[in-house]
Structure 1
């Protein structure tokens, strides 16, 4: 810890902008570049000072909708600027928080004066165009689009073969394992998820930028219906992120000294205090357990320490799936009735893929400007893998936490226990470590998947066939998790392992 920074090195967020594009004629929907430019213009207007022309740094959140040839250069061309640093970042739900954190660090070190972070997606318009077979009149795509890294490229081969290599099929493993570890029944865990998600929806209902501006009851969220089908047990459609949106957001940051010189009112300035980041092993099967995350724990504990142990007046706990904020609120020692969001959540506000936390940062700035004291932004990426937290405040931090490194990876790794050997071949008795069931679009189970520990302590994956109604019933029982149950594992005709209860 070092002494507090001087005004020309104290980073402050001075402008925020958001756009939710719902044109009456969907063919007139804005492309991502246009959404980003509009959000930046709003952020400049919000700051009340001509800052876009002065940008020396801009970070663009990775977008999926439209593969531009050179997103950073093309956005700068639209804006008529040539900042020294213009970067198009990698995939990750935590990435907007990292960009904000790193921009603040550059200002604190004197490497930057005015910085911007922005992102956008137009998945709703794109989906409608594909369905209608219409070519959108947007900026031409790259002739050879850069290939995005897909989850299947870093997932364990067994996970791919069993169909559990996408977020919707992986996070349920954590939901079951954590709830069982906390002593809950599946019904109790579902009730907690429903109540938590209902509070997210209540905030989205008052957020003018939300895609689903409705307040949902816990029962409406957790009860499977034709419009709210089960996707992967225990998650229904209303319990997962909604990426079919057209949304863009931007923030502008400068130093306290520069903001004052530009005449920006002090009550508009939100200070960046600092934060922390750490990762879990990318292959989720190569982790020591599934009832928590060492990286998440250390990151949030560090953030709590930056708030001087007094806690936070406002929160944004990442909400791709319920297990994430449920884990986070326990690490932060918060009650079950906590309000976990200032934005509305990735289901109800909308999930513009990697860009949700840019919107969350805008919402946090608005909340802190209203008089709240200290806010926490916590973002997460991949499969409970990448964790980043950032603390914002109405007042300057008491000390400099920005000029040095922010990684707490060593502390997270030090907590990690031994990882069991991962095996593809197994036979005989095997105990369930955690589990889920995957459903088709009609709400019927396609198969269950169990992570198992074999007699020698090794870890493997196995299928529970849909035809095994006894096994599927055990995996979805409302009164008890199947974790800890022992059964027989054997190789099926297609080469996959199958588990059957004793």
Structure 2
């Protein structure tokens, strides 16, 4: 089916992608995040072959940046860029946010509210960390003494904070271990799958000039704990978690088809955003029905697959968010991707680098390059934020759509919510017998187990937390067995001297 020709002023296209990755030998030459962003924008315009389009930029979304305490980041970026777009917005925290910014920029172009738009982000966590270690004062924009991180933990249960399971690295293992058990895998089988997948990601990063770690790692190197690969939160080692210690900036430039043509951008370098979808899980992960899947993720991926089906297309390239292995593993299964496919054009948050909220801007840049090399192909760009919480994906293609019109409403929240099962109530006063629903073990920096955390179901069906002290060697060993999962193991809760609940098997 071919649709009637649309007004070229209302057809959004991606025309440029710019990236910066730097490791200056002299910290005083390191660029601050706003400077990295400005350079990435200039490179995006150069990539489009239309550097003059930056002067026509009317909409700019800035991905939330964390590494430097700006009092006014948009103002700092304007100084480095030398111009101020009519619409200049600083976004909220979220790993999915670059995808949302791109999607909404495309929708604004489709509504006629914008002609030239961009998404940009940057972090300099590596330089900041090195400067702190070396006692170097960075000659950057004056820091705001009242600056605070924008991501809090007030939406989580206080017990999660007390037990140390209030950060991504300690929460995602709950999903990782639950997924393995649900699939009938032994922990050894699940960990081998993760290591093989991460090895494939590292191979892509090794070939990406913008990557932070340009080395291919074997599965054994990734899965084997050691001095340079310490265990962090079971089953994850250092080489299985996102690496935020990078200096990177990325930008994506969009405009209307008419503007792109007038600027002389070749049609074969334009990338079309067909459509997309978004949904969220309950923000407190204890308020979810289970941990072996995400209903929001499934609804978003199902919707994007339906978009591709309507266009009689398949996803020849995919970027599945890769903060931790469980995310792309769940997504790849839902999409039915062939085993062994590395669902990235970028290299993943461990090896390419994890510039905090901005990885998906770089992923979009990698996807633009991949699509230009495959005329007529389609691809999926899928981002995620918080604790398997926020999900946003778009379908990109190197050809215009034939059957799909970019819808303004892309939420599939109602579909996600309709799939949700009963959520057990959470109690802090559980006692007696309780069964493991999922778990992790947190480790000290020397690799020794500090304590285990188990999410439990009581005999009454309520949900609660239990702690396993690191001194309980036998129970820690039970949690870390590789031949069978401890999920489903029954045990007893007892109140400890600090009023937390300790758990031990029957």
In the TM superposition, what whole-angstrom CA distance separates every residue of 1:183-222 from its partner, at most 9, and x where no partner exists?
A: 1000000000011001100000000010000000111000
CA contact (8 A) 1:437 1:449 kept: yes
Q: How does 1:348-363 map to 2 (within 5 A)?
A: 348-363=351-366
CA contact (8 A) 1:4 1:399 kept: no
Report the Cα distance in structure 2 between the residues aligned to 1:312 and 1:89, rounded to whole angstroms: 29
Structure 1: gaps of 5 or more residues: none
What displacement does 1:74 show? 2.5
Q: How does 1:48-197 map to 2 (within 5 A)?
A: 48-49=49-50, 50-145=52-147, 147-197=148-198
Aligned to 2:285: 284
Aligned to 1:474: 478
CA contact (8 A) 1:96 1:117 kept: yes
Aligned to 1:392: 396
In the TM superposition, what whole-angstrom CA distance separates every residue of 1:84-106 from its partner, at most 9, and x where no partner exists?
A: 21001000000000000000000
Report the Cα distance in structure 2 between the residues aligned to 1:447 and 1:397, rounded to whole angstroms: 53
Q: TM-score, normalised by structure 1?
A: 0.98
Larger mean CA deviation between 183-192 and 260-269 belongs to 260-269
Aligned to 1:368: 371
Aligned to 1:428: 432
Report the Cα distance in structure 2 between the residues aligned to 1:355 and 1:153, rounded to whole angstroms: 23
Report the Cα distance in structure 1 between the residues aligned to 2:4 and 2:146, rounded to whole angstroms: 49
What displacement does 1:83 show? 1.6
Report the Cα distance in structure 2 between the residues aligned to 1:58 and 1:138, rounded to whole angstroms: 22
In the TM superposition, what whole-angstrom CA distance separates every residue of 1:41-68 from its partner, at most 9, and x where no partner exists?
A: 1111111111111011000000011121
Secondary structure of the structure 2 residue equivalent to 1:473: helix
CA contact (8 A) 1:109 1:403 kept: no
Report the Cα distance in structure 2 between the residues aligned to 1:275 and 1:327, rounded to whole angstroms: 19
Secondary structure of the structure 1 residue equivalent to 2:315: coil
Report the Cα distance in structure 2 between the residues aligned to 1:78 and 1:474, rounded to whole angstroms: 55
What displacement does 1:490 show? 1.3
Report the Cα distance in structure 2 between the residues aligned to 1:208 and 1:56, rounded to whole angstroms: 30
What displacement does 1:150 show? 3.0
Secondary structure of the structure 2 residue equivalent to 1:68: coil
What displacement does 1:4 show? 6.4
Report the Cα distance in structure 2 between the residues aligned to 1:324 and 1:151, rounded to whole angstroms: 22
Aligned to 1:335: 338
In the TM superposition, what whole-angstrom CA distance separates every residue of 1:430-467 from its partner, at most 9, and x where no partner exists?
A: 00000110100111000111000000000000101111
Secondary structure of the structure 2 residue equivalent to 1:411: helix
Report the Cα distance in structure 1 between the residues aligned to 2:262 and 2:493, rounded to whole angstroms: 70
Q: TM-score, normalised by structure 2?
A: 0.97
* Match among 437, 441, 447 for residue 445 of structure 2: 441
Q: Paired residues, what number?
A: 501
Q: How does 1:300-315 map to 2 (within 5 A)?
A: 300-308=301-309, 310-315=313-318
Aligned to 1:457: 461
CA contact (8 A) 2:76 2:141 kept: no
Aligned to 1:500: 504
Secondary structure of the structure 1 residue equivalent to 2:450: strand
What displacement does 1:425 show? 0.8
Report the Cα distance in structure 2 between the residues aligned to 1:181 and 1:335, rounded to whole angstroms: 20
Structure 2: gaps of 5 or more residues: none
- 2:216 corresponds to 1:215: yes
CA contact (8 A) 1:430 1:488 kept: yes
Report the Cα distance in structure 2 between the residues aligned to 1:78 and 1:198, rounded to whole angstroms: 38
Secondary structure of the structure 2 residue equivalent to 1:231: strand
CA contact (8 A) 2:307 2:404 kept: no
What displacement does 1:400 show? 4.6
- Structure 1 residues 427, 3: closer, same or farther in 2, change over 3 A? farther
Report the Cα distance in structure 1 between the residues aligned to 2:374 and 2:470, rounded to whole angstroms: 54
